Structure 1
Amino acid sequence: MSDRGQSVRAVAARVLQSVENGQSLTQCLPPALNEVADNERPQLQALCYGTCRWFHRLDAELQARLKKPLRKPDRVVHHLMLVALFQLRLSQQANYAVLNETVEACRALDKPHLTGLVNGVLRAAEREGEPACPDDSARFSHPHWMVEKLRHNWPQDWQALLDANNAQAPMTLRVNARRFSRNEYLQQLTDAGIEATATRFAPLGIQLASPVAVDRLPWFADGAVSVQDEAAQLCTTLMDLAPGQRVLDACAAPGGKTCAILESCSGLEEVVAIDESADRLPRVQENLDRLELVATLVQADAADIDQWWDRQPFDRILLDVPCSATGVIRRHPDIKLLRRESDVVPLASIQLGLLKAMWQVLAPGGRLVYATCSVFPQENHRIIRRFLTQQEHAVLREPDVPWGRDMETGRQLLPDPESHDGFFYAVLEKPEP
């Protein structure tokens, strides 16, 4: 392969090192894509996502093959060898190409003194084959703490959950009902040679048989559809939206749910979308512009209501709180490297604080939908239970829906390899005085 192929591996190694240092793939991959040729971008993305997905299995093997850890200045070569192991174990790349080009990529990383080590480790890996996994962390390729927490929280489902996290997530669309019915858009896809089926639970959802670039989707640029997982689409089915309502989408970026709210009900008085991140709010506006929708965007900490609230209450609130994101690991495998067990308690405190704050801005007779993309009860039904013990006037509504598991204070969807992500929803109402 040309120097370009070697540079793709070197760039992937640097991306993985950035993830290890606390950056998400969403943050560090886009600039890295600009370092390689256009036709190499899919390969770079596949290497980064695939190595993150199987990191714990690959890392267990690599550590067993190294006599001692590499020095910190050489840590990028550790990641380079993980990329190579991913290709040896889980890709269709020819072994000889992986070995030769990884050694050259080592030179491209200015580590020529380690080419002998890289060559020796990878040739042994090729010759000896993949070893048996030493524990469940390596077997399921998740951090040990996450395996144990899922085993404890979901004793009947933990293995299926871990397997689902390692599966490739399907590409799912939300049809803009202002432009097409779902059946009409399914026909558009058929005419374009794109195989797709209606989602089981989301009334406007379509799941593609295979992912495609959005520019292949009929009328995408004109706002006909958006890319959104089926579980995330369900929020609008719980909000009981009606014309004339003032609606708040707290923690709104990147704006998929804000747009879904506006699409699903015309005649809303106002939709306010809040997010703390100045970097992410422009993405919300981009989505609104493509769909020709209008919302009031506010950069603020939603919990600090004195900072942003105009004292006009909201009839409906969607509170999609910051969480561990353990229900969307299959879409964001770097979560397995970024999340720590110590994150969960502080997140639960933030979630409860946001819920209390949003309750203050909810109108009497109003409805609040609490949502997470987590599968940890600590962030989900236990938060609602804690809130209900502190807010005696809050009314819990059990949604009459055919999906999810009844957790007594909400509905839990576990990630399904064939369809939706993992999500939790609860519905709370504030009584009239």
Structure 2
Amino acid sequence: MKPLPLPKQKNLRADCAWVIYQILEQGKSSRDCLERVQRRHNARDNAWLQEMSLGVMRKLPVLQHWLRTLLDRPLKGNKKVIEHLIMLGLYQLAFSRVSKHAAVGETVAAASYLGGTGLKGLVNAVLRNFQREELIDKGIDDPIINSGMPKWLYKAIESAYQGDANTVRQSTNEMAPIWLRVNTQQIERDEFATLLTQADIEFSLSESHPDGVILTSREDITALPGFDKGFFAVQDGAAQLAARYLDPQDGERILDCCAAPGGKTGHIAERAPKLSYCLALDADEKRLQRVHENMTRLKHNVDIKQGDATNPSKWWDGIPFDRILLDAPCSATGVIRRHPDIRWLRKSSDIDNLAALQREILDALWTTLKPGGTMLYATCSILPKENKDQIKRFVAETDDATLVPLIKTETSENPGRQILPGEQQMDGFYYARLVKSSGESV
């Protein structure tokens, strides 16, 4: 699809439609698109932009079904973005608190900002017909459309979870809470909780995560008490388990591989502040900038390098690591409730490609781990091919690798811990702990 420039003049709904277009037609992430348009708006409008654009991602199959029902023929070329504007209008009418009058009137007006002045009548007619025909009250007899997921992902979850598949899909579509991890090198959790209470911020303390705080409502993170002082980081509860499972000890050499944006790196440094050496490695130089920013704000001293994890000879100093956290590149299907655009950016073929890359990284990094050392394998995926199947393969093919269970229910056929979306309010995540035989020399 032809690139579409950002509208010259800002308009809330036109900018939102532009974001939706960038995701669905250009394959851009919502994070990048939203960041660009949010520079033009105030905090309240930015919250609306995020809520509406990501809401469309969650309800896309239903919205597309209604669009096909109401539109005589698809729009093409530089008019295609008007379809995305119409879907935004449908979402407002069906799933938001926006008044019906504003949902129609303001959406129609936004067409002019997208070069669609001549299509304002069409936008108005489609939205009015949607109301007139009461399509929202007419059921859609298609479980895949109702699931809000692409067909490949619907079937992948069905295959992996069978009788529990509907529950997994429903949980994946729910809104994720905002978790904070208190930086205990700067402040104790109880003291930080007092600051939140004084600022009238509603929250709960996680019983299972000693550093975890869960916000009850959406907040401007940078405005929370102690942000500039590095009192906390935003990190989901499932991701907070990484440092606990890795269990770094003072004096050790640690590698956090595929580390950007640095959440787990920071937690490692907080749990073992006297490490001999900690390396945060990532292949994406741009994303490493976030690691630098986060480590500076949190006041952690770690080494940060750009490097290809499949080729350690380019970045490794030859001294084996005591522990390695491999936060492997994955489909991110476990965090779709937090980033609903992921389901439309991923394809079925991506899974095999990612699994092949994970295998290559696992094999390469194993050579950098000292005898008796620990590797924690992690993904934010819920698909077995990236998780337990990957670990089963690695253990079977690697003579000096032993699975050390994290939970009692682990077996050689079902290795690791698979966390599903919504479990204890956490994102979907997978962990497996591997130990290298002490008799092997690097």
Give the shorter-chain TM-score range: over 0.9
Give the secondary structure class of the aligned counterpart of 1:327: helix
Are positions 1:282 and 2:286 aligned together?
no
Give the secondary structure class of the aligned counterpart of 1:218: coil
Aligned positions of 1:19-58 closer than 5 A: 19-20=23-24, 21-58=26-63
Aligned positions of 1:15-414 closer than 5 A: 15-20=19-24, 21-129=26-134, 130=136, 131-400=138-407, 408-414=414-420
C-alpha distance in structure 2 between counterparts of 1:113 and 1:297, whole Å: 53
Shift of 1:348: 0.3
Change (3 A) 1:287 1:17: same
Of residues 40-49 and 222-231 in structure 1, the stretch that sits farther from structure 2 once superposed is 40-49
C-alpha distance in structure 2 between counterparts of 1:372 and 1:33, whole Å: 30
User: What is residue 423 of structure 1 aligned with on the other side?
Assistant: 429
Shift of 1:202: 2.3
Shift of 1:41: 1.8
- Whether the 8 Å contact between 2:392 and 2:413 is mirrored in structure 1 is no
Q: Which amino acid aligns with 2:71?
A: L
- Whether the 8 Å contact between 2:407 and 2:417 is mirrored in structure 1 is no
TM-score (norm 2): 0.93
- Whether the 8 Å contact between 1:245 and 1:268 is mirrored in structure 2 is yes
- Whether the 8 Å contact between 1:405 and 1:412 is mirrored in structure 2 is no
Shift of 1:155: 1.0
Question: Which whole-Å deviations, capped at 9, do the CAs of 1:106-151 have from their partners, x for residues lacking one?
Answer: 1221112222221111001112221322412221211111111101
Q: Of residues 8, 11, 15 in structure 2, which corresponds to 1:7?
A: 11
C-alpha distance in structure 2 between counterparts of 1:368 and 1:208, whole Å: 32
Q: Which amino acid aligns with 2:259?
A: A
C-alpha distance in structure 1 between counterparts of 2:267 and 2:118, whole Å: 54
Question: Which whole-Å deviations, capped at 9, do the CAs of 1:197-252 have from their partners, x for residues lacking one?
Answer: 22243221111211221234222211111110000000011112111100000000
C-alpha distance in structure 1 between counterparts of 2:142 and 2:412, whole Å: 32
Of residues 258-267 and 133-142 in structure 1, the stretch that sits farther from structure 2 once superposed is 133-142
C-alpha distance in structure 1 between counterparts of 2:10 and 2:397, whole Å: 58
- Whether the 8 Å contact between 1:223 and 1:292 is mirrored in structure 2 is yes
C-alpha distance in structure 2 between counterparts of 1:361 and 1:138, whole Å: 46
- Whether the 8 Å contact between 1:252 and 1:275 is mirrored in structure 2 is yes
- Whether the 8 Å contact between 2:9 and 2:113 is mirrored in structure 1 is no
C-alpha distance in structure 2 between counterparts of 1:268 and 1:407, whole Å: 35
Shift of 1:96: 1.5
C-alpha distance in structure 2 between counterparts of 1:264 and 1:115, whole Å: 58
C-alpha distance in structure 2 between counterparts of 1:353 and 1:405, whole Å: 24
C-alpha distance in structure 1 between counterparts of 2:358 and 2:387, whole Å: 9
Question: Which whole-Å deviations, capped at 9, do the CAs of 1:67-100 have from their partners, x for residues lacking one?
Answer: 2211132110010011111100111111111111
Change (3 A) 1:71 1:346: same
C-alpha distance in structure 2 between counterparts of 1:9 and 1:299, whole Å: 39
Structure 1 segments, 4+ long, off by >3 Å, are: 3-6, 35-39, 404-407
User: What is residue 4 of structure 2 aligned with on the other side?
Assistant: none
Change (3 A) 1:6 1:254: closer
C-alpha distance in structure 2 between counterparts of 1:354 and 1:289, whole Å: 28
Change (3 A) 1:326 1:371: same
User: What is residue 3 of structure 2 aligned with on the other side?
Assistant: none
- Whether the 8 Å contact between 1:370 and 1:426 is mirrored in structure 2 is yes
- Whether the 8 Å contact between 1:6 and 1:101 is mirrored in structure 2 is no
Shift of 1:276: 0.7
Q: Which amino acid aligns with 1:348?
A: A
C-alpha distance in structure 2 between counterparts of 1:326 and 1:140, whole Å: 14
Change (3 A) 1:207 1:406: farther
C-alpha distance in structure 2 between counterparts of 1:407 and 1:213, whole Å: 44
Question: What is the number of residues matched between the two proteins?
Answer: 430
Computed over aligned residues only, the root mean square deviation of the Cα atoms, in angstroms, reads 2.1
Question: Which whole-Å deviations, capped at 9, do the CAs of 1:316-366 have from their partners, x for residues lacking one?
Answer: 100001101000001101011101111100000001111111101001111
Q: Which amino acid aligns with 1:301?
A: D
Give the secondary structure class of the aligned counterpart of 1:87: helix
Give the secondary structure class of the aligned counterpart of 1:156: helix
Change (3 A) 1:235 1:418: closer
C-alpha distance in structure 2 between counterparts of 1:233 and 1:260, whole Å: 7
Change (3 A) 1:417 1:42: farther
TM-score (norm 1): 0.95
Question: Which whole-Å deviations, capped at 9, do the CAs of 1:305-325 have from their partners, x for residues lacking one?
Answer: 111111111001000011010
C-alpha distance in structure 1 between counterparts of 2:174 and 2:159, whole Å: 22
